[in-house]
């Protein structure tokens, strides 16, 4: 049986390299993807998630996002700028006891708002999320005890850009690059802005041009893997602040996936 499993794994790897997937390899890939989907679905259905988080799932579409990211059991994950821990809890449930989640709250944010890390500290103190550690660190000096498989930031990259400019955003990207293992994934999700917006426009609307994100992240050494349209909304004109009641929760969002070579 072990020899058979080894053969199938070898077949998958070889097939991917050649661009042709035989039937046995297709079956193995299908089982792997199915297992990942089941794990994510179970994580979303976990009773330890607050009702407010569950209610947000319809708009935030976490199942599709995490499948696109490739999140699975046993991974080491950093949730950077985690807010109240919406994704932190989901990550914890997906990676399980064999993985770990570090919720990284910017020291810069805590300096201005002392209770900014309280929500994720409470999650880390909850026995139901024993694989979560809350960290307060400068964004240009992120330090994780283990090499990361996945780094994630959602609806926050624009804050770094308008708060500290392009240099601050690049410093974050470089810190994430250093924290990831080779082949590790960096996911950036953010509200879309029209091209040519000034930093002041970004500050006012809380939006950022996806092309700008891509240029900055690639400048840090990452390879662009692709983009998901899962959170796209063609009805969003990008002219309103993301907090406007007519668009809040339904903004056009970019979902960008990068890999450390």
Q: Whole-angstrom Cα distance, residue 93 to residue 86? A: 12
Specify the pLDDT at position 42.
Answer: 85
Reduced to 3 states, what is the DSSP secondary structure of residue 217?
helix
The set of residues, in sequence order, having a beta carbon less than 8 Å from that of 43 and lying 6+ positions away, is 90, 92, 93, 94
For domain 55-259, give the CATH superfamily: Vaccinia Virus protein VP39 (3.40.50.150)
Q: Measured between alpha carbons, how far is 170 from 166 in angstroms, rounded to an integer?
A: 6
User: What pLDDT score does 36 carry?
Assistant: 58
Q: What is the location of CATH 3.40.50.150 in the chain? A: 55-259
* pLDDT for position 12: 33
> What pLDDT sits at residue 38?
62
> Nearest-5° angle of CA 245, CA 249, CA 251?
95
Q: Are 112 and 77 in contact (CB under 8 A)?
A: no
Determine the pLDDT at residue 156.
Answer: 94
For residues 6 and 56, give the distance between their C-alpha atoms in angstroms, rounded to a whole number.
Answer: 41
Give CA–CA dist 17/185, Å, rounded.
19
pTM of the model: 0.84
- State residue 180's pLDDT score: 98
pLDDT along the chain (261 residues), means of 10: 37 36 38 55 88 94 96 97 97 96 96 95 96 97 97 95 83 97 98 89 92 96 97 96 95 98 98
Contact at 8 Å (CB) between 92 and 46?
Answer: no
pLDDT of residue 177: 98
């Amino acid at each position: 049986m072990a020899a058979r499993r080894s053969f199938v794994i070898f077949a998958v790897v070889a097939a991917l390299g050649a661009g042709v997937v035989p039937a046995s390899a297709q079956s193995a890939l299908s089982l792997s993807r199915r297992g990942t989907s089941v794990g994510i679905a179970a994580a979303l259905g976990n009773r330890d998630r607050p009702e407010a988080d569950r209610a947000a799932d319809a708009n935030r579409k976490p199942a599709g996002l995490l499948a696109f990211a490739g999140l699975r059991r046993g991974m080491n994950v950093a949730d950077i700028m985690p807010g109240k821990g919406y994704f932190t809890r989901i990550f914890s449930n997906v990676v399980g006891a064999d993985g770990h989640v570090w919720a990284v709250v910017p020291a810069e944010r805590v300096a201005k708002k002392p209770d900014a890390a309280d929500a994720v500290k409470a999650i880390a103190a909850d026995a139901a999320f024993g694989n979560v550690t809350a960290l307060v660190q400068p964004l240009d000096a992120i330090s994780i005890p283990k090499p990361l498989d996945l780094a994630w930031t959602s609806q926050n990259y624009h804050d770094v850009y308008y708060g500290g400019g392009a240099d601050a955003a690049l410093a974050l990207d470089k810190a994430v690059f250093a924290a990831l293992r080779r082949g590790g994934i960096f996911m950036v999700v953010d509200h879309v802005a029209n091209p040519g917006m000034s930093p002041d426009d970004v500050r006012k609307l809380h939006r950022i041009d996806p092309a700008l994100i891509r240029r900055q992240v690639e400048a840090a050494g990452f390879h662009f893997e692709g983009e998901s349209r899962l959170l796209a909304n063609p009805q969003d004109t990008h002219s309103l602040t993301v907090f406007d009641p007519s668009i809040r929760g339904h903004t056009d969002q970019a979902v960008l996936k990068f890999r450390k070579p």
